[in-house]
A = this chain, B = another copy of it.
C-alpha cells in the first residue's frame, strides 16, 4: 500500500479529511487497459452521443452544487466568487465542445473524387481526423475546475473520441473526486463504456510517470511546472513508441511598454499591472512577470508607481504552501543578484499562514538579462521583473532572445507602434498570443483563442489548451482509399446528412458528393 496523504486548507494549514492514497501500479495499469478497451466503442459513438455526454457532464457538475464549491474553496483557498466563475467557465467549455462535436466540421473532411478514365486511374480518397486513442490528462493546481478533472483538456479529448485517464492534482483530491463522479454519471447516462474515464490520485511524480510510459496511452496533456512537464516530455520521447506531450510549463508574459504610452498613461498602467500581477496571488499562467520599460523619467515614474502599488497590496494565499515556499526562495535569491534591484515588496504579517505570499517588484537592465537569460524565465507568484531598455535595437534583441511565451502585451501610441515594428515582430515570434493594450490575465474561451506558445511555454507550439482548436491535440488524419460507403465513417459518406463543411476536390462545400 502506498502512503496516505490529505489535502490542506492553505488559509489555515490544517489537514482536511479524508485521506487519499497514491494509485498503485496495478490500478494505473488497469485504468489504462480499460481505457484502451473502451476506445473502439467510444470512438465509434455517433457524434450526437458524444455531444450529449459533454452536455450531461456540464449538468452533473452544476448538480454538485455547493458541495463542489465548498470543497474547492477548502482545498485551494480560492475565493468563492472566483470558484463560481471558474465553474461557469468549466461548464461553458464542456458545452462549447458539445456544440463543436454536434456541428461536426472540425473533422476537416476531405474528399478527392475518383477519375477512372485517367492514366493511371485516379482513386477515390477520403480523409478526416480520427481520435488518437486513450490519453492522460493532468490536473493543474491553479484552476481546480477549469484545468483539472473535467477541464479543457478532458473536454477536448472526450470530444475527439479519446478515453481519458486523469491524474488528479494532489492539492485538491476531494474536488477531483467530485468532478470525476460528475463525469462518470454523464458517461453512464449516455451509455458510453465505463472505461472512458478514470481518476487516479498521486501525491508525487510516480503516478504521472507511469501514465506517460504506459503503452496503451497515446498522448499526455499537462499544465504545471517546467520540471514536471519536461519530465513527462522526456519519458514520452523515450518510449519504444513515443507519444505527443502537450505540457504548458510556464511563461513570464512580457509586457512591452513603449515611450509615448508610458509618458501619457504611466500612472494608469501602473495601477492596471499592479492589479494583474497580484490577481489570484499571481497564480495565473498569464501573469505579467516581465515588464519592458524604457529608460528615462517617464519609465522611472511608472516603476515607482507600480512599486508603491505592489508594496501596498494585500498579501494573498497561494493554493498550497509549496508554491509560497518556492516563491519566497526565488524572491530571496533575486534580491541578492548583482545588477538586480528589489524595488518594493509587500510585507507578510507575523501570523500569516505558510501559503501566503506578498507581491514583489524587481528591476534590472536589458544588458543584465542578456548576460543572465535565466532572469527572463517564469517567476511564479505575485511578482514582476522590470527590464529597462534603451532604443529600438536593444529592445528588439532582448525580445528575440526571450524564451517562448504564452502571451506578449504591447502598450504604445500609434507613433510608438510604428517606430517599433521590428520589436513587435520579434515579440510575435516568441509568443502564442499578442495583445495590444490591456493585461494578459483573463483568457477568453472561444474559437479564436490560442493558449500555447513556443518552448518552454508549451512543449508543442502547434497546439492550444483553450478554445475549440484544443480538440486537435487528440486526433490524427486517416485516409480511406476506394472504401465502400458502408465502411466509411458517416462524415465521409456521399450523403452528408449533417451538412458538414467538407473539401471536395479541394473546394469547401456543404453539399453531398
Contacts and interface: CB of A to CB of B under 8 A. Distances in A.
A459 B244 CA distance: 10
A116 interface: no
Nearest to A473: B462
A67 to B, nearest CB: 27
Contacts of A438: 123, 481-482
B484 A436 contact: yes
A450 B469 contact: no
Contacts of A454: 241, 476
A431 B478 CA distance: 8
Contact of A478 (B132, B403, B432, B436): B432
A244 to B, nearest CB: 7
B436 A481 contact: yes
Contact of A480 (B233, B434, B475): B434
B447 A481 contact: no
A450 B123 CA distance: 13
A479 B125 contact: no
A145 B178 CA distance: 58
A66 interface: no
Q: How large is the interface on A (under 10, 10 to 19, 20 to 34, 35 or more residues)?
A: 35 or more
Contacts of A478: 428, 431-434, 450
A494 interface: no
A200 B290 CA distance: 40
Contacts of A120: 442
A125 B444 contact: yes
A447 B506 contact: yes
Interface in A105-148: 105, 110-112, 120, 122-123, 125-127, 130, 132-133
B125 A449 contact: yes
Contacts of A244: 460, 462
A241 B404 contact: yes
Contacts of A442: 120
Contacts of A505: 447
Contacts of A130: 428
A433, A487, A503: residue with the most chain B Cβ atoms closer than 10 Å: A487
A503 B455 contact: no
Interface string A470-507: 00100111111111100100000000000001010110
Given A40-B422, A436-B482, 9 more contacts: A105-B508, A417-B487, A431-B478, A432-B476, A434-B479, A448-B503, A462-B476, A469-B477, A508-B508
26 contacts: A40-B429, A110-B447, A110-B469, A112-B447, A123-B438, A125-B448, A125-B449, A132-B461, A234-B237, A244-B460, A244-B462, A417-B484, A432-B476, A432-B477, A432-B478, A433-B481, A436-B480, A436-B487, A438-B482, A446-B506, A447-B503, A447-B505, A450-B478, A452-B476, A454-B476, A462-B477
